Amino acid sequence: DGGITQSPKYLFRKEGQNVTLSCEQNLNHDAMYWYRQDPGQGLRLIYYSQIVNDFQKGDIAEGYSVSREKKESFPLTVTSAQKNPTAFYLCASSIEEGYGYTFGSGTRLTVV
Amino acid sequence: GEDVEQSLFLSVREGDSSVINCTYTDSSSTYLYWYKQEPGAGLQLLTYIFSNMDMKQDQRLTVLLNKKDKHLSLRIADTQTGDSAIYFCAERDDKIIFGKGTRLHILP
């Protein structure tokens, strides 16, 4: 079955550490997205990529980095520059930018 | 800029109909969506409507679109405990813009 897989489901980070969240899809989708979800804030776009080797900043890119070396994969690194990283992170993909999104099941990141 | 607004909470008695409302600002939106998010999970596409349609029905779900007022609603008939979730309205022009979500609480 085609789908989008995020791992790990739960992640704990110490202050000052970088961590990388994985997102893999086998839907042959060109576009991929990373969102951050905080209670009462809805979804905020961090980064998106319309095609391999290209990506753009979203609304809250500071303190995050991404890469898109393969069509299937769009990992997100939460750097130590992100001052408040504790949140639920959602990855999504679509056939092309703007079409209905398929979401992963999310990664909950907690800073300890 | 583009914006999607929806109320944050709705409580409905089991068996009643739930109506979740949404307003959007981008008149050039081509598709409008409703997504459902259960606790600790990602978003699941429930239904969508093209901007040239007024209504779409899919089993217990009815979507109404008033393009003049830029108002979208989702009606869930015979609300069940399994419908308890956060419902996100979203519009698409070149990107998808999400509302902040309406948390639907089911009363026994």
**Contact between chains at B94 and A97 (C-beta distance less than 8 A):** yes
CA nearest to A57, candidates A45, A69, A72 = A45
HSE (CB half, 13 Å, CA atoms) of B29? 32
A105/B96 touch (CB, cutoff 8 Å), yes or no: no
The C-alpha R_g of chain A, in whole angstroms, comes to 13
B73 to chain A, closest Cα gap in Å? 18
Residue A25 confidence class, pLDDT cut points 50, 70, 90: very high
What is the CB neighbour count within 10 angstroms for residue B98?
21
Distance between CA atoms of residues B90 and A27, nearest Å:
22
- DSSP string covering A59-111: TT-TTEEE--SBTTB--EEE-TT-S---EEEEEEEESSTTSPPEE---EEEEE
Residue spans of alpha helices (H) in B1-108: none
Residues in chain B with pLDDT < 50? none
The per-residue pLDDT for B65 is: 95
Residue B47 tokens, joined: 């239904």
Q: Are A103 and B42 in contact (CB < 8 Å)?
A: yes
Mean pLDDT of A99-105: 91
**String of DSSP letters for B53-81:** -SEEEETTEEEEEETTTTEEEEEESS--G
Is the predicted pLDDT of residue A1 greater than 70, yes or no?
A: no
pLDDT tens digit sequence for A70-92: 999 999 999 999 989 999 999 99
The tally of CA atoms less than 13 A away on the side-chain side of residue A100 is: 16
Distance from CA of A107 to the nearest CA of B (A): 9
Round to whole Å and give the CA distance between A46 and A32: 11
Backbone phi and psi for residue B52, each to the nearest 5 degrees, phi listed first: -95, 10
Quick: pLDDT tens for A27-69.
999 999 999 999 877 899 999 999 999 999 999 999 999 999 9
Q: Does A100 score more than 80 pLDDT?
A: yes
Of the pLDDT bands very low, low, confident and very high (cuts 50, 70, 90), residue A96 is confident
- B-chain residues near A10 (CB < 8 A): none
Residue in chain B nearest A90 by alpha carbon:
B42
